[in-house]
Amino acid sequence: MSAAELLVDETPITRMESLVDPGTLHLLRTAVGDGVVAGSGRVNGRAVFCWAQDGRFKGGSLGAAGGETITRTFALADRAGAPVVCFPESGGARVQQGAAGLSAYGAIFRAEAIAKVPVISVVAGACAGGAAYGAAVGDLTIAAGDDVKLFLTGPRVVEEITREKVTAIDLGGVKVHSANGVIHLTSDDDHDAAQLVREVLGYLPARLGDRPPTALPREPIGGDPRDVLPPSPRQVYDVRDVAGRILDGGELLEFCPRWARNLVTGLGRVDGMPVGVLANQPRHLGGTLDVRAAEKGAWFVNWCERMSLPMVVLVDTPGFLPGTGQEREGVIRYGAAFLRAFARATVPRVTITLRQAFGGAHIVMNSRDLGADLTLAWSASRVGVMGARQAVEVVGRRELAAGADRMALEAAYEIERLDVGVTAGEGYIDEVIEPMETRGRIAQALGAFT
């Protein structure tokens, strides 16, 4: 099949048509485009640019002409101040063109990395080599279906060099990359992916640095957030249920749900205002922070900063996960990157401590001293260097050795050092609130800071 035939074939064009409002797609290039088509259109009335590859034309390999089409699309989008949606499907650089194919990828990477607009990639087939990088350089990567494959080196070369036999799916399928943070959102098929892109774009500014679009406010679902928390502080719960009782319509569009499950990240709205939501997840590892959670958290804070999205941070963590494995994996470095992201962020940020926040994890989770604009704590929550049981082992050793009652010592420490009223009184938390006040206080703060 020739490039000219592919340009009128409906597969790449249909992907773009399913994205944009009906009748708004205009092709930017209608002549032979080396297996790449590009266009502009509108999503919910807002301008958007897009390009798509056809994996059936020379395996979707990228040549100089196709590379020029893609980089031109980014340039036009930057000039217009409109997001770019990419539909890559490629086996990498075209071998027959030698360095020209590599140069084309280099130019695409740069255009994507310095884009002044949001860039979203929707992967529907296979992306190998440079195409895999291209799918990941932008702001979000969405998998369209279960047959998506992303890898730098394919199974055949892997076996030749390492003697390891592996299928393409096991090497770089959706399960692999949704668990390591390469894929941020998954969908059932091309059409579902396009609708997901439309939903995401509704939260984002057209041009980086602009204010994200607001919507009509909707009431949350489920009643008092307090009811989500179990009676015992040792019991777990799903923090997404708390978010649902704070966010408009109870809706949280979660990013990377399979990566670092002990930290939840996603998009929602409070009183019509779009927000990035970051929350400890007690259902996994008790809400502790570890290497992967810190990596995920740093990525998401930086992403919200790039998108000018205010942040709502829900805190319930006993601290960082201890152990030799974490230290060897570089938990200090990843934790530092997480706190650095918060310390450097300029978007409005509100933190709510739901149940507990201990040690360095309290600091890292958008504490007042890292620059949070408002720090709130539910009235029954606890904040301190460590929990009462651990603290008594340190500060009460003599008393314990003398036969003092451990439970009494722990209760006294809870009242004297962990009670959130004490923490607020010392100025480390701005306000102690009841759970039902949470949404209203967030809305007031964001209204003042945005």
What pLDDT, on a 0 to 100 scale, did the predictor assign at position 420? 72
Q: Does one domain contain both 194 and 263?
A: no
**What's the pLDDT tens digit per position in 46-83?**
999 999 988 676 655 677 888 889 999 999 999 999 99
> Helix, strand, or coil here: 320?
strand
In a domain, 209, yes or no: no
Average pLDDT, the chain: 89
What pLDDT, on a 0 to 100 scale, did the predictor assign at position 220? 95
Instruction: State both tokens at 241.
Output: 């249920």
Q: Residue 402: which pLDDT band, with cuts at 50, 70 and 90?
A: low
Question: Residue 410: pLDDT above 70?
Answer: no
**What's the pLDDT tens digit per position in 221-277?**
989 999 999 988 889 999 999 999 999 999 999 999 999 999 999 999 999 999 999
Is residue 53 a contact partner of residue 16, using CB atoms and an 8 Å limit?
Answer: no
In a domain, 229, yes or no: yes
Over residues 330-340, mean pLDDT: 98
Q: Does one domain contain both 108 and 186?
A: yes
Q: Does one domain contain both 231 and 311?
A: yes
Q: Does one domain contain both 288 and 388?
A: yes
Write out the residue range of the structural domain in which residue 61 sits.
3-201
Q: pTM here? A: 0.92
Query: Letter for the amino acid at 285?
Result: L
**Rounded to whole angstroms, how far apart are CA atoms 336 and 342?**
10
DSSP 95-163: GGGTHHHHHHHHHHHHHHHT-SS-EEEEE-SEEETHHHHHHHHSSEEEEESTT-EEESS-HHHHHHHH-
Counting residues of the chain whose pLDDT is more than 70, the rounded percentage is 84
Last residue of a domain, one of 169, 201, 233: 201
Last residue of a domain, one of 201, 217, 233: 201
Which residue from 208, 215, 207, 128 is spatially nearest to 173, judged by alpha carbons? 128
| CB-count burial class (<10 Å; 0-12, 13-18, 19+) for 287 | buried
What pLDDT, on a 0 to 100 scale, did the predictor assign at position 3? 45
| 60 vs 319 pLDDT, higher one | 319
Is residue 51 a contact partner of residue 37, using CB atoms and an 8 Å limit?
Answer: yes
Residue pointed to by tokens 């990567």: 141
Indicate the number of domains in the chain. 2
Which residue from 45, 49, 35, 41 is spatially nearest to 5, judged by alpha carbons? 35
- Going by the DSSP 8-state scheme, the letter that residue 341 receives in this structure is H
Question: Residue 5: pLDDT above 80?
Answer: no
Q: What residues are labeled active site?
A: 129-130, 360-361
Instruction: State both tokens at 222.
Output: 């489920």
**What's the pLDDT tens digit per position in 76-126?**
999 999 999 999 987 665 655 667 678 888 899 999 999 999 999 999 888
| Side-chain-side CA neighbours of residue 222 (13 Å) | 21
Q: By mean pLDDT, which of 1-5, 188-192, 331-335 is the weakest?
A: 1-5
Q: Does one domain contain both 116 and 261?
A: no
Is residue 74 a contact partner of residue 112, using CB atoms and an 8 Å limit?
Answer: yes
Q: Does one domain contain both 155 and 244?
A: no
What is the CATH number for 19?
Answer: 3.90.226.10
In a domain, 367, yes or no: yes
In a domain, 292, yes or no: yes
Question: Residue 31: pLDDT above 90?
Answer: no
**Rounded to whole angstroms, how far apart are CA atoms 102 and 151?**
17
What pLDDT, on a 0 to 100 scale, did the predictor assign at position 445? 96
Q: Residue 386: which pLDDT band, with cuts at 50, 70 and 90?
A: very low
**Rounded to whole angstroms, how far apart are CA atoms 116 and 207?**
6
In a domain, 215, yes or no: no
| 204 vs 7 pLDDT, higher one | 204
Question: Residue 394: pLDDT above 90?
Answer: no
Is residue 33 a contact partner of residue 4, using CB atoms and an 8 Å limit?
Answer: no
Is residue 390 a contact partner of residue 397, using CB atoms and an 8 Å limit?
Answer: no
Q: Does one domain contain both 189 and 241?
A: no
Q: Does one domain contain both 32 and 157?
A: yes
DSSP 55-78: TTSGGG-B-HHHHHHHHHHHHHHH
Q: Does one domain contain both 197 and 249?
A: no
In this structure, what are the phi and psi dihedrals at residue 320, rounded to the nearest 5 degrees? -85, 145
Q: Does one domain contain both 50 and 152?
A: yes
In a domain, 407, yes or no: yes
In a domain, 214, yes or no: no
> Helix, strand, or coil here: 357?
strand
Is residue 254 a contact partner of residue 281, using CB atoms and an 8 Å limit?
Answer: no
Q: Are strands 26-27 and 185-187 parallel, antiparallel or unpaired?
A: unpaired
In a domain, 252, yes or no: yes
Q: Does one domain contain both 355 and 419?
A: yes
Q: Does one domain contain both 118 and 248?
A: no
Q: Are strands 431-433 and 374-378 parallel, antiparallel or unpaired?
A: parallel
Last residue of a domain, one of 148, 169, 201: 201
